[in-house]
Amino acid sequence: MSRIDLHLHTTHSDGSLPPSEVLKLAAKASVTALAITDHDITSGIPEAMATGRELGIEVIPGVEISCFDGTSELHILGYCLDWQDSVLNGRLASLRASRHRRNPLIIERLRAAGLDVTYDEVRALAGTESVGRPHIARLLMQKKYVSSAKEAFDRYLAEGKPAYVPRDLPAPAEAISWIRDAKGVAVLAHPTWVKDSGDGLGGRLTALKEAGLGGVEVHYSTHSKTQTASYLELAKRLDLLVTGGSDFHGLTKPDIEVGYGRGDLRVNPRLLEPLKAAAAARS
Ligand code: AMP
Ligand code: ZN
Ligand code: FE
Ligand code: FE
């Protein structure tokens, strides 16, 4: 049965496969349309589009921007945006620069814990300007300090662990406006991440909608059936678009497959038209 997947990472950020390889996996998974949503960078989109043309898969330009709302880190996806827009790319470059300010501080902490790692090694392994903690996790795996990315996060990199260093993140309203300025549609990623600050997810989504949010990622690899149903109900009640995707990263999330997530994900191709229509209304 055909499906779509609107949340995929490649080697242009912290995924472990290049866009062409992600597209090949998508073809095997009967994915008819997909979005490349690398963190803070759009450079993987042309390769994805070229391979998409060869394989007959529609490629939606996308991006994922990490934000901090005062209580929790939440991620905003941008879809159907003008990914070549210089203002957008300048803004994304500033986010990548903040990664390069934080990452060496993480390395210092790992070294203080006795691990022999350098930021040059991380950058060489990453091979992209959008360098994230999963790259550091992969270096720790290569050097046999840990046996999985999960172990790297659990022991060192996750919030509250010895090598955790926060980075400067934009407010969600800012990321939403950047996406809208580039004629895209902004969508709240994996709503399970949103910590309750008292007004519930409905209150949060209402505020984000006032800031220009267009949709919510209802279908996601790790959502339970109950969560999916409650997000769907919220999206309907607040008149937000429904999207979905696997958040495939390859090696750093080895249990997640393109198109299938943990096996039971299926994002209906019918969700694509409303998203494209919302973007068309913006341009
Ligand atoms: P960064 O953007 O550099 O702060 O890294 C955050 C990214 O690390 C997230 O977007 C996830 O893709 C990934 N991540 C967070 N927690 C974990 C974990 N426990 N295992 C693997 N990847 C994770
Ligand atoms: Zn990621
Ligand atoms: Fe995310
Ligand atoms: Fe993601």
* Ligand 1 neighbourhood includes 132 CB (under 6 angstroms): yes
Ligand closest to Cα of 253 equals 1
Check residue 68 and give its pLDDT. Answer: 95
Strand 58-68, strand 31-36: pairing = parallel
The pLDDT assigned to 199 comes to 74
Q: 128 CA to middle of ligand 1, Å? A: 16
State the closest ligand 1 atom to the C-alpha of 9, by its place in the atom list counted from 1: 12
What pLDDT, on a 0 to 100 scale, did the predictor assign at position 282? 79
Question: Is the C-beta atom of 42 inside 6 A of ligand 1?
Answer: no
- DSSP per position, 118-183: -HHHHHHHH-SS---HHHHHHHHHHTTS-SSHHHHIIIIISTTSTT--------HHHHHHHHHHTT
C-alpha of residue 97 to centroid of ligand 4, in Å:
19
Position 204 scores a pLDDT of 92
Supply the pLDDT for residue 200. Answer: 86
Which ligand 1 atom is at minimum distance from the Cα of 136? Answer: 3
The per-residue b/e assignment along 157-172, b for 16 or more CB within 10 angstroms, e otherwise, is beeeeebebebebbeb
> What parts of the chain have a pLDDT lower than 50?
none
Q: For position 49, what pLDDT does the model report? A: 98
Structure tokens at 274: 């409303």
Give the model's pLDDT for residue 150. Answer: 96
